[in-house]
């Protein structure tokens, strides 16, 4: 049975109010009293209740970050977003906590981020998962938990979002490849709950149409059901198939940072030189030259995504929101990689 704060107060010989101030670190108490209460709590095995703290102060001083799978946190996209969020949060004395949007133990169970919202662990929730259910976002709304989406929109709910204009970025990247003379451009998009690949492919199609190039669906290797960390086997099959075409691609556009290096290694395994035989361009969260690969770079300012998401969240918490849709643009830079068709 859990030990209550009232039991701690009784064992320490202080009032409940004094015990509460001692455990929260608030108020003016003698150091001796504060230490005595905390030592007693430790000896009894007392654990502060997040909901109780929230009820007492009105805030938990924690922002929730909802992601589909904890493995995603190892990717630079997420790491840079979290760095941007942490910088804004640190300045306001607010920490970050992580919660999965997937239900542990099966779809019938309640997702972790919903359960923790019910428990009052977070003042607000930043959701980075395009596969999140609208019904769950509606439940957060009913709980009056402020929500900010990153790289996702739910127009019917008017949930504030910070996102990239991926359609425009993909169109510009494809235009640049077309300008270099490429007419067989393959697109790779793998992984669920990350970016709006549909918007990206639309931008790709627009650029092909502008260049009077016919669309070939065999060049779009787009499967959102493949986990982003399990792409090697998928790449062996699909890149091998594309290279076996009568007219193989002369350029590849990778829609995710984690896939670009797998793509490059696979092409080299097949005996192709980059960019002499085939050009590669990829969406990345940093300077493309950091890959030590001659690839074109379509830069996603992920750090700024995190900063702007946190700023938008604190605006919601304070009741002052200037806009509910923040759209950022990236930079297409093929000066370090990509060349004219080599085959």
CATH number of 166-301: 3.40.50.2300
Distances (CA, A) of 58 to 17, 49, 51, 289: 17, 14, 10, 47
> For residues 14 and 22, is the Cβ–Cβ distance under 8 A?
yes
Supply the pLDDT for residue 207.
97
> In the prediction, which pLDDT does 106 show?
52
Where do the CATH 3.40.50.2300 domains begin and end in the chain? 62-164+304-326, 166-301
The CATH superfamily of 62-164+304-326 is Response regulator (3.40.50.2300)
Which pLDDT belongs to residue 15? 86
* SS3 state at 190: strand
Q: Given this model, what pLDDT does residue 288 score?
A: 47
Per-residue pLDDT tens digits of the chain, which is 343 residues long:
567 888 888 999 988 888 877 876 666 788 888 889 889 988 888 866 655 555 455 567 889 999 987 777 777 888 899 999 999 999 888 889 988 887 665 555 778 898 888 878 889 999 998 778 888 888 888 888 899 999 888 878 888 999 999 999 999 999 999 999 999 999 987 654 445 678 888 999 999 999 999 999 999 987 656 555 566 777 777 788 888 888 999 999 988 777 788 888 888 888 999 989 999 998 888 654 445 568 899 999 999 999 999 999 999 988 877 678 899 988 898 887 788 887 6
Residue 89, SS3? helix
Give the single-character DSSP code of 277.
T
Torsion angle, alpha carbons of 315, 77, 70, 135, to 10:
50
- Secondary structure element (H or E) that encloses residue 236, with its range: helix 232-243
Rounded Cα distance between 264 and 138, Å, is 42
What phi, psi does 161 have (nearest 5°)?
Answer: -145, 155
**Crossing angle between the packed helical segments 257-269 and 232-243, to the nearest 10 degrees:** 50
* Angle 122-112-328 from CA coordinates, rounded to 5°: 65
Task: Name residue, tokens 């670190």.
Answer: 25
CB proximity list for 219: less than 8 A, separation 6 or greater = 184, 185, 186, 187, 242, 249
Backbone phi, then psi, for 149, in 5-degree steps?
-100, 145
Q: What is the pLDDT of residue 168?
A: 95
**What is the predicted pLDDT for the residue at 291?**
52
């Amino acid at each position: 049975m859990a030990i209550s704060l009232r039991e701690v107060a009784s064992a320490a010989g202080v009032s409940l109010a004094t015990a509460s101030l001692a455990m929260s670190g608030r108020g003016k108490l003698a150091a001796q009293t504060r230490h005595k209460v905390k030592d007693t709590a430790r000896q009894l095995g007392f654990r502060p209740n997040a909901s109780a703290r929230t009820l007492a102060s009105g805030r938990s001083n924690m922002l929730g970050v909802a992601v589909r799978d904890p493995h995603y946190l190892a990717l630079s996209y997420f790491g840079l977003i979290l760095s941007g969020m942490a910088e804004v949060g640190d300045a306001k004395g607010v920490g970050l906590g992580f919660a999965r949007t997937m239900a542990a133990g099966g779809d019938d169970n309640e997702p972790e981020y919903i359960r923790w919202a019910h428990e009052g662990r977070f003042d607000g929730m930043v959701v980075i998962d395009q596969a999140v259910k609208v019904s769950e976002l509606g439940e957060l709304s009913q709980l009056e938990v402020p929500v900010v989406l990153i790289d996702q929109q739910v127009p019917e709910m008017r949930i504030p979002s910070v996102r990239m204009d991926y359609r425009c970025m993909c169109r510009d990247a494809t235009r640049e490849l077309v300008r270099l003379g490429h007419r067989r451009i393959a697109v790779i998009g793998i992984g669920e709950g990350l970016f709006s690949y549909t918007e990206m492919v639309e931008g790709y199609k627009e650029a092909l149409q502008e260049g009077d190039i016919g669309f070939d669906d065999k060049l779009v290797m787009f499967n959102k059901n493949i986990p982003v960390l399990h792409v090697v086997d998928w790449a062996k099959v699909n890149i091998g198939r594309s290279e076996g075409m009568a007219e193989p691609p002369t350029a590849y556009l990778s829609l995710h940072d984690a896939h670009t290096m797998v793509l490059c290694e696979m092409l080299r395994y097949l005996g192709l030189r980059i960019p002499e035989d085939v050009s590669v361009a990829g969406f990345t969260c940093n300077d493309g030259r950091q890959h030590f690969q001659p690839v074109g770079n379509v830069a996603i300012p992920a750090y700024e995504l995190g900063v702007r998401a946190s700023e938008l969240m604190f605006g919601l918490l304070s009741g002052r929101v200037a806009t509910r849709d923040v759209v950022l643009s990236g930079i297409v830079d093929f000066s370090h990689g990509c060349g004219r068709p080599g085959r």
